[in-house]
Amino acid sequence: MPGNILQIEVTSLDMAPQLAPLARSDSKTKFFQRLGLSPERKSDNRLYELMKDEAVQGRERILSSPNSLLPQLRGDPDIRPPYSNIQICESAIHAEILKIYREASPETKTMYEKGHDTESFNEENWIIRWMLCKSLSMMIVVY
């Protein structure tokens, strides 16, 4: 029919991240470049600090929860918080990544969306994972 326009709303639950992931070992400089941030811009540094704060809070939750422990370590009375990185299971890290994403501030959520992946088998967010891994690598547990 002339003059009629068919409008179709396309929604997809499965989306790949807008930005390609970085290796966890990559530098803060590369991280800034990948996200289109500049270390010279105050607003970009503020955004990075907000993301870092959310990652640190996530790290604290992981390292203090017995549910984060590797299955074989749970229930061991000699293992007490704060736990070390080698005592933490991947599923706890993954769950924390999703928690950070769900509870992110509006400022950080906008950036996190660029690294969010619902296309793979497990929902993932490489930006939050990178921030969380950097935060975990800074944690030193003294025995």
Question: pTM, whole model, 2 decimals?
Answer: 0.83
Core vs surface per residue 74-110: b (16+ CB within 10 A) or e: eeeeeeeeebeeebbbeebbbbbbebbbeebeeebee
Which candidate, 115, 107, 110, places its Cα nearest to that of 132?
115
pLDDT in tens, 67-89: 999 999 999 999 999 999 999 99
pLDDT at 102: 97
pLDDT in tens, 34-46: 999 999 999 999 9
Q: What is the dihedral of CA 63, 67, 73, 76, to 10 degrees?
A: 90
Residues of the chain with pLDDT under 70: 1-14, 16-17, 138-143
pLDDT at 3: 56
